[in-house]
A and B are shown apart, each in its own frame.
Chain A
Protein backbone atom coordinates (compact mmCIF):
# COMPACT_ATOMS: atom_id res chain seq x y z
CA UNK A 1 0.00 0.00 0.00
CA UNK A 2 1.39 3.35 -0.84
CA UNK A 3 -1.08 5.68 0.74
CA UNK A 4 1.61 7.39 2.75
CA UNK A 5 3.80 8.18 -0.19
CA UNK A 6 4.54 11.85 -0.75
CA UNK A 7 2.48 13.59 -3.36
CA UNK A 8 4.01 13.84 -6.78
CA UNK A 9 5.45 17.05 -7.99
CA UNK A 10 2.85 18.30 -10.42
CA UNK A 11 4.93 20.40 -12.70
CA UNK A 12 4.56 17.50 -15.12
CA UNK A 13 0.86 18.21 -15.53
CA UNK A 14 1.56 20.91 -18.02
CA UNK A 15 4.70 19.51 -19.52
CA UNK A 16 3.63 18.68 -23.04
CA UNK A 17 1.47 20.02 -25.79
CA UNK A 18 -1.20 17.64 -26.95
CA UNK A 19 -2.52 16.55 -30.28
CA UNK A 20 -6.13 16.16 -29.36
CA UNK A 21 -7.27 19.59 -28.49
CA UNK A 22 -5.78 19.99 -25.08
CA UNK A 23 -4.31 23.28 -26.22
CA UNK A 24 -7.80 24.54 -25.54
CA UNK A 25 -7.37 23.36 -21.98
CA UNK A 26 -4.37 25.57 -21.56
CA UNK A 27 -6.39 28.38 -23.08
CA UNK A 28 -9.31 27.54 -20.84
CA UNK A 29 -7.00 27.66 -17.84
CA UNK A 30 -5.83 31.10 -18.84
CA UNK A 31 -9.37 32.35 -19.32
CA UNK A 32 -10.26 31.33 -15.80
CA UNK A 33 -6.98 32.62 -14.47
CA UNK A 34 -6.00 29.35 -12.85
CA UNK A 35 -2.75 28.35 -14.44
CA UNK A 36 -1.54 25.30 -12.60
CA UNK A 37 1.94 26.64 -12.10
CA UNK A 38 0.81 29.94 -10.63
CA UNK A 39 2.88 30.78 -7.55
CA UNK A 40 0.98 30.31 -4.33
CA UNK A 41 -1.18 27.48 -5.66
CA UNK A 42 1.39 24.84 -4.93
CA UNK A 43 0.07 23.97 -1.48
CA UNK A 44 -3.48 23.62 -2.67
CA UNK A 45 -2.60 21.28 -5.48
CA UNK A 46 -0.29 19.30 -3.25
CA UNK A 47 -3.14 18.87 -0.78
CA UNK A 48 -5.44 17.76 -3.55
CA UNK A 49 -2.83 15.27 -4.72
CA UNK A 50 -2.53 13.86 -1.22
CA UNK A 51 -6.28 13.54 -0.81
CA UNK A 52 -6.62 11.87 -4.19
CA UNK A 53 -3.90 9.38 -3.37
CA UNK A 54 -5.79 8.41 -0.23
CA UNK A 55 -9.24 8.46 -1.77
CA UNK A 56 -8.50 6.39 -4.84
CA UNK A 57 -7.38 3.19 -3.14
CA UNK A 58 -10.45 1.31 -2.03
CA UNK A 59 -10.26 -1.94 -0.11
CA UNK A 60 -12.58 -4.63 -1.41
CA UNK A 61 -15.33 -5.88 0.90
CA UNK A 62 -14.31 -8.71 3.21
CA UNK A 63 -16.77 -11.04 1.54
CA UNK A 64 -15.13 -10.42 -1.84
CA UNK A 65 -11.64 -10.95 -0.40
CA UNK A 66 -12.77 -14.27 1.01
CA UNK A 67 -14.16 -15.26 -2.39
CA UNK A 68 -10.95 -14.25 -4.15
CA UNK A 69 -8.60 -16.28 -1.99
CA UNK A 70 -10.74 -19.34 -2.71
CA UNK A 71 -9.94 -19.12 -6.42
CA UNK A 72 -7.73 -22.14 -7.10
CA UNK A 73 -4.19 -21.64 -8.40
CA UNK A 74 -3.68 -21.93 -12.15
CA UNK A 75 -3.89 -25.53 -13.27
CA UNK A 76 -3.18 -24.81 -16.91
CA UNK A 77 0.24 -23.55 -16.00
CA UNK A 78 0.95 -26.77 -14.17
CA UNK A 79 -0.04 -28.80 -17.23
CA UNK A 80 2.12 -26.59 -19.35
CA UNK A 81 5.07 -27.23 -17.05
CA UNK A 82 4.45 -30.98 -17.27
CA UNK A 83 4.40 -30.77 -21.07
CA UNK A 84 7.66 -28.88 -21.10
CA UNK A 85 9.28 -31.47 -18.84
CA UNK A 86 8.08 -34.29 -21.11
CA UNK A 87 9.59 -32.49 -24.06
CA UNK A 88 12.87 -32.14 -22.20
CA UNK A 89 12.85 -35.86 -21.42
CA UNK A 90 12.15 -36.68 -25.05
CA UNK A 91 15.06 -34.49 -26.11
CA UNK A 92 17.36 -36.13 -23.62
CA UNK A 93 16.33 -39.59 -24.76
CA UNK A 94 16.96 -38.60 -28.34
CA UNK A 95 20.45 -37.40 -27.52
CA UNK A 96 21.25 -40.60 -25.63
CA UNK A 97 20.02 -42.80 -28.47
CA UNK A 98 21.92 -40.74 -30.98
CA UNK A 99 25.08 -41.02 -28.92
CA UNK A 100 24.71 -44.79 -28.69
CA UNK A 101 24.10 -45.11 -32.42
CA UNK A 102 27.03 -42.88 -33.26
CA UNK A 103 29.36 -44.64 -30.88
CA UNK A 104 28.52 -47.95 -32.52
CA UNK A 105 29.53 -46.63 -35.93
CA UNK A 106 32.62 -44.85 -34.64
CA UNK A 107 33.80 -47.80 -32.60
CA UNK A 108 33.26 -50.02 -35.61
CA UNK A 109 35.32 -47.73 -37.82
CA UNK A 110 37.98 -47.32 -35.19
CA UNK A 111 38.29 -51.00 -34.66
CA UNK A 112 38.31 -51.66 -38.37
CA UNK A 113 40.86 -49.01 -39.35
CA UNK A 114 43.13 -48.46 -36.37
CA UNK A 115 43.45 -51.81 -34.86
CA UNK A 116 43.47 -54.36 -37.64
CA UNK A 117 45.89 -56.42 -35.70
CA UNK A 118 43.56 -56.65 -32.81
CA UNK A 119 40.79 -57.65 -35.14
CA UNK A 120 42.94 -60.36 -36.56
CA UNK A 121 43.40 -61.67 -33.12
CA UNK A 122 39.84 -61.30 -32.13
CA UNK A 123 38.41 -63.16 -35.05
CA UNK A 124 35.01 -63.06 -33.62
CA UNK A 125 34.87 -59.25 -33.69
CA UNK A 126 34.40 -58.74 -37.47
CA UNK A 127 31.70 -61.31 -37.40
CA UNK A 128 29.92 -59.32 -34.75
CA UNK A 129 30.38 -55.97 -36.55
CA UNK A 130 29.26 -57.28 -39.90
CA UNK A 131 26.50 -59.33 -38.46
CA UNK A 132 22.89 -58.68 -39.52
CA UNK A 133 22.16 -57.88 -35.86
CA UNK A 134 24.38 -54.74 -35.92
CA UNK A 135 22.75 -53.48 -39.12
CA UNK A 136 19.36 -54.14 -37.65
CA UNK A 137 20.31 -52.25 -34.48
CA UNK A 138 21.55 -49.24 -36.45
CA UNK A 139 18.39 -49.03 -38.53
CA UNK A 140 16.30 -49.41 -35.39
CA UNK A 141 18.13 -46.50 -33.74
CA UNK A 142 17.69 -44.25 -36.78
CA UNK A 143 13.97 -45.11 -36.96
CA UNK A 144 13.56 -44.27 -33.28
CA UNK A 145 15.39 -41.00 -33.79
CA UNK A 146 13.12 -40.06 -36.66
CA UNK A 147 10.02 -40.94 -34.67
CA UNK A 148 11.20 -38.90 -31.67
CA UNK A 149 12.07 -35.94 -33.87
CA UNK A 150 8.58 -36.03 -35.35
CA UNK A 151 6.99 -36.20 -31.89
CA UNK A 152 9.22 -33.36 -30.75
CA UNK A 153 8.13 -31.15 -33.64
CA UNK A 154 4.47 -31.90 -32.93
CA UNK A 155 5.01 -31.14 -29.25
CA UNK A 156 6.73 -27.84 -30.01
CA UNK A 157 3.96 -26.82 -32.38
CA UNK A 158 1.30 -27.58 -29.77
CA UNK A 159 3.00 -25.86 -26.84
CA UNK A 160 4.33 -22.82 -28.70
CA UNK A 161 2.90 -19.61 -27.11
CA UNK A 162 0.35 -17.85 -29.24
CA UNK A 163 1.46 -14.53 -30.60
CA UNK A 164 -0.92 -11.67 -31.14
CA UNK A 165 -3.40 -10.00 -28.82
CA UNK A 166 -2.88 -9.93 -25.10
CA UNK A 167 -5.54 -11.58 -22.96
CA UNK A 168 -8.67 -9.51 -22.83
CA UNK A 169 -7.28 -6.99 -25.30
CA UNK A 170 -9.97 -5.61 -27.54
CA UNK A 171 -9.91 -6.83 -31.10
CA UNK A 172 -9.23 -4.48 -33.94
CA UNK A 173 -12.12 -2.36 -35.08
CA UNK A 174 -14.86 -4.10 -36.94
CA UNK A 175 -14.84 -7.10 -34.65
CA UNK A 176 -16.70 -7.47 -31.41
Chain B
Protein backbone atom coordinates (compact mmCIF):
# COMPACT_ATOMS: atom_id res chain seq x y z
CA UNK B 1 0.00 0.00 0.00
CA UNK B 2 1.23 3.47 -0.82
CA UNK B 3 -0.87 5.27 1.75
CA UNK B 4 1.40 8.14 2.78
CA UNK B 5 2.11 8.53 6.47
CA UNK B 6 0.35 11.37 8.29
CA UNK B 7 3.77 12.89 8.97
CA UNK B 8 4.56 12.99 5.27
CA UNK B 9 1.25 14.65 4.49
CA UNK B 10 1.74 17.19 7.27
CA UNK B 11 5.22 18.02 6.02
CA UNK B 12 3.88 18.42 2.50
CA UNK B 13 1.12 20.66 3.84
CA UNK B 14 3.76 22.77 5.55
CA UNK B 15 5.53 23.22 2.21
CA UNK B 16 8.46 20.86 2.77
CA UNK B 17 9.88 20.36 -0.78
CA UNK B 18 11.26 16.87 -0.06
CA UNK B 19 7.94 15.66 1.37
CA UNK B 20 6.01 17.19 -1.50
CA UNK B 21 8.25 15.51 -4.04
CA UNK B 22 7.96 12.16 -2.26
CA UNK B 23 4.19 12.47 -2.21
CA UNK B 24 4.11 13.12 -5.95
CA UNK B 25 6.45 10.23 -6.69
CA UNK B 26 4.44 7.82 -4.56
CA UNK B 27 1.05 8.78 -5.93
CA UNK B 28 1.68 9.56 -9.60
CA UNK B 29 1.22 5.97 -10.80
CA UNK B 30 -2.15 5.67 -9.12
CA UNK B 31 -3.36 9.10 -10.15
CA UNK B 32 -2.31 8.49 -13.74
CA UNK B 33 -3.95 5.04 -13.76
CA UNK B 34 -7.26 6.51 -12.61
CA UNK B 35 -6.90 9.29 -15.17
CA UNK B 36 -6.36 6.75 -17.96
CA UNK B 37 -9.29 4.75 -16.68
CA UNK B 38 -11.48 7.84 -16.89
CA UNK B 39 -10.31 9.54 -20.06
CA UNK B 40 -8.78 6.60 -22.02
CA UNK B 41 -6.43 8.75 -24.11
CA UNK B 42 -2.92 8.91 -22.60
CA UNK B 43 -2.47 12.58 -23.56
CA UNK B 44 -5.70 13.55 -21.81
CA UNK B 45 -4.74 11.43 -18.82
CA UNK B 46 -1.36 13.17 -18.61
CA UNK B 47 -3.05 16.59 -18.65
CA UNK B 48 -5.48 15.49 -15.96
CA UNK B 49 -2.67 14.09 -13.81
CA UNK B 50 -0.83 17.38 -13.98
CA UNK B 51 -4.01 19.31 -13.23
CA UNK B 52 -4.64 17.09 -10.20
CA UNK B 53 -1.24 17.77 -8.67
CA UNK B 54 -1.47 21.49 -9.39
CA UNK B 55 -4.85 21.52 -7.69
CA UNK B 56 -3.51 19.39 -4.85
CA UNK B 57 -0.86 22.02 -4.29
CA UNK B 58 -3.63 24.58 -3.73
CA UNK B 59 -5.95 22.52 -1.56
CA UNK B 60 -3.71 20.14 0.39
CA UNK B 61 -3.87 22.55 3.32
CA UNK B 62 -7.58 21.81 3.68
CA UNK B 63 -7.00 18.07 4.19
CA UNK B 64 -7.85 17.42 7.84
CA UNK B 65 -7.21 13.70 8.04
CA UNK B 66 -10.87 12.81 8.43
CA UNK B 67 -10.50 10.15 5.69
CA UNK B 68 -7.51 8.34 4.27
CA UNK B 69 -5.38 10.71 2.21
CA UNK B 70 -5.56 8.45 -0.84
CA UNK B 71 -9.37 8.31 -0.70
CA UNK B 72 -9.43 12.11 -0.55
CA UNK B 73 -6.91 12.40 -3.39
CA UNK B 74 -8.69 9.90 -5.64
CA UNK B 75 -11.96 11.73 -5.11
CA UNK B 76 -10.18 14.83 -6.35
CA UNK B 77 -8.93 12.91 -9.42
CA UNK B 78 -12.38 11.53 -10.19
CA UNK B 79 -14.13 14.87 -9.75
CA UNK B 80 -11.65 16.73 -11.93
CA UNK B 81 -11.80 13.91 -14.49
CA UNK B 82 -15.60 14.02 -14.60
CA UNK B 83 -15.45 17.81 -15.01
CA UNK B 84 -13.06 17.27 -17.91
CA UNK B 85 -15.42 14.75 -19.53
CA UNK B 86 -18.33 17.15 -19.19
CA UNK B 87 -16.29 20.01 -20.66
CA UNK B 88 -15.58 17.80 -23.66
CA UNK B 89 -19.25 17.01 -24.04
CA UNK B 90 -18.79 13.36 -23.02
CA UNK B 91 -21.80 13.50 -20.72
CA UNK B 92 -22.72 9.86 -21.11
CA UNK B 93 -19.32 8.70 -19.90
CA UNK B 94 -19.49 11.12 -16.99
CA UNK B 95 -22.72 9.56 -15.72
CA UNK B 96 -21.17 6.93 -13.48
CA UNK B 97 -24.40 5.65 -12.04
CA UNK B 98 -25.96 4.87 -15.42
CA UNK B 99 -24.19 1.94 -17.06
CA UNK B 100 -26.88 -0.73 -16.98
CA UNK B 101 -27.57 -0.56 -20.72
CA UNK B 102 -24.10 -1.80 -21.58
CA UNK B 103 -24.24 -4.73 -23.97
CA UNK B 104 -22.21 -7.69 -22.79
CA UNK B 105 -21.28 -9.93 -25.74
CA UNK B 106 -22.02 -13.62 -25.62
CA UNK B 107 -19.22 -16.07 -25.17
CA UNK B 108 -17.76 -18.35 -22.59
CA UNK B 109 -16.31 -16.10 -19.92
CA UNK B 110 -14.54 -18.93 -18.27
CA UNK B 111 -11.70 -19.13 -20.71
CA UNK B 112 -8.42 -19.08 -18.87
CA UNK B 113 -6.95 -15.62 -19.58
CA UNK B 114 -3.49 -16.94 -18.87
CA UNK B 115 -3.71 -18.88 -22.09
CA UNK B 116 -4.21 -15.80 -24.22
CA UNK B 117 -0.59 -14.79 -24.39
CA UNK B 118 2.27 -13.98 -22.14
CA UNK B 119 1.77 -11.70 -19.19
CA UNK B 120 2.81 -8.42 -20.76
CA UNK B 121 0.81 -8.91 -23.89
CA UNK B 122 -2.14 -10.02 -21.84
CA UNK B 123 -1.94 -6.87 -19.76
CA UNK B 124 -2.04 -4.76 -22.92
CA UNK B 125 -5.00 -6.72 -24.22
CA UNK B 126 -6.82 -6.42 -20.92
CA UNK B 127 -6.34 -2.65 -21.06
CA UNK B 128 -7.74 -2.56 -24.58
CA UNK B 129 -10.76 -4.57 -23.52
CA UNK B 130 -11.13 -2.42 -20.42
CA UNK B 131 -11.34 0.64 -22.63
CA UNK B 132 -14.43 -0.83 -24.24
CA UNK B 133 -16.24 -1.05 -20.91
CA UNK B 134 -18.37 1.82 -19.61
CA UNK B 135 -16.40 4.39 -17.63
CA UNK B 136 -18.22 3.46 -14.42
CA UNK B 137 -17.21 -0.20 -14.61
CA UNK B 138 -13.66 0.62 -15.63
CA UNK B 139 -13.19 3.11 -12.84
CA UNK B 140 -14.68 0.88 -10.18
CA UNK B 141 -12.48 -2.03 -11.28
CA UNK B 142 -9.40 0.20 -11.31
CA UNK B 143 -9.99 1.45 -7.78
CA UNK B 144 -10.84 -2.02 -6.53
CA UNK B 145 -7.82 -3.80 -7.92
CA UNK B 146 -4.86 -1.56 -7.87
CA UNK B 147 -5.30 0.04 -4.47
CA UNK B 148 -7.47 -2.53 -2.77
CA UNK B 149 -9.88 0.14 -1.64
CA UNK B 150 -12.85 -1.03 0.38
CA UNK B 151 -16.31 -0.90 -1.16
CA UNK B 152 -17.23 2.02 1.08
CA UNK B 153 -14.15 3.95 0.01
CA UNK B 154 -14.85 3.33 -3.67
CA UNK B 155 -18.41 4.53 -3.13
CA UNK B 156 -17.06 7.62 -1.43
CA UNK B 157 -14.57 8.32 -4.23
CA UNK B 158 -17.16 7.83 -6.97
CA UNK B 159 -19.95 9.51 -5.01
CA UNK B 160 -22.21 6.53 -5.70
CA UNK B 161 -24.35 4.31 -3.45
CA UNK B 162 -22.57 1.28 -2.07
CA UNK B 163 -24.84 -1.19 -3.84
CA UNK B 164 -24.31 0.52 -7.18
CA UNK B 165 -20.57 0.17 -6.72
CA UNK B 166 -20.94 -3.54 -5.96
CA UNK B 167 -23.10 -4.00 -9.05
CA UNK B 168 -20.60 -2.09 -11.21
CA UNK B 169 -17.77 -4.29 -9.97
CA UNK B 170 -19.65 -7.51 -10.53
CA UNK B 171 -20.89 -6.56 -13.97
CA UNK B 172 -17.58 -5.05 -15.01
CA UNK B 173 -15.68 -8.17 -14.12
CA UNK B 174 -18.17 -10.37 -15.88
CA UNK B 175 -18.17 -8.20 -18.98
CA UNK B 176 -14.39 -8.16 -19.01
CA UNK B 177 -14.17 -11.93 -18.81
CA UNK B 178 -16.66 -12.33 -21.64
CA UNK B 179 -14.93 -9.82 -23.87
CA UNK B 180 -11.59 -11.47 -23.29
CA UNK B 181 -13.17 -14.76 -24.25
CA UNK B 182 -14.59 -13.25 -27.45
CA UNK B 183 -11.23 -11.75 -28.33
CA UNK B 184 -9.53 -15.07 -27.92
CA UNK B 185 -12.20 -16.89 -29.93
CA UNK B 186 -11.76 -14.39 -32.79
CA UNK B 187 -8.01 -14.95 -32.78
CA UNK B 188 -8.38 -18.72 -32.84
CA UNK B 189 -10.78 -18.62 -35.78
Contact = CB atoms under 8 A, between A and B. Distances in A.
Interface of A: 1-2, 5, 8, 13-22, 25, 29, 32, 34, 36, 41, 43-45, 47-49, 51-61, 64-65, 67-69, 71-78, 80-81, 161-162, 166-170
Interface of B: 1-2, 12-17, 19-21, 24-25, 28-30, 32-33, 36-37, 42, 46, 49-50, 53-55, 57-62, 64, 72, 75-76, 79-80, 82-83, 97, 100, 109-114, 119, 122-124, 126-127, 130, 141-142, 145-148, 159, 161, 163-164, 166-167, 169-171, 173-174, 176-177, 180
Given A58-B32, A58-B33, A161-B62, A13 B173 contact: yes
Contacts of A44: 110-113
A61 B126 contact: no
A56 B15 contact: no
A135 B30 CA distance: 67
Contacts of A72: 17, 20, 57
B13 A2 contact: no
Candidate in A43, A59, A170 with the most chain B CB atoms within 10 angstroms: A170
Given A56-B33, A56-B37, A56-B146, A77 B13 contact: yes
B72 A22 contact: no
Q: Is the interface of B mostly helix, strand, loop or mixed?
A: helix
A2 B79 contact: no
Given A13-B173, A58-B33, A49 B145 contact: yes
Contact of A19 (B24, B28, B163): B163
16 contacts: A5-B148, A29-B174, A34-B110, A44-B110, A44-B112, A57-B29, A58-B33, A58-B36, A61-B46, A64-B28, A73-B21, A74-B12, A78-B15, A81-B14, A167-B55, A169-B159
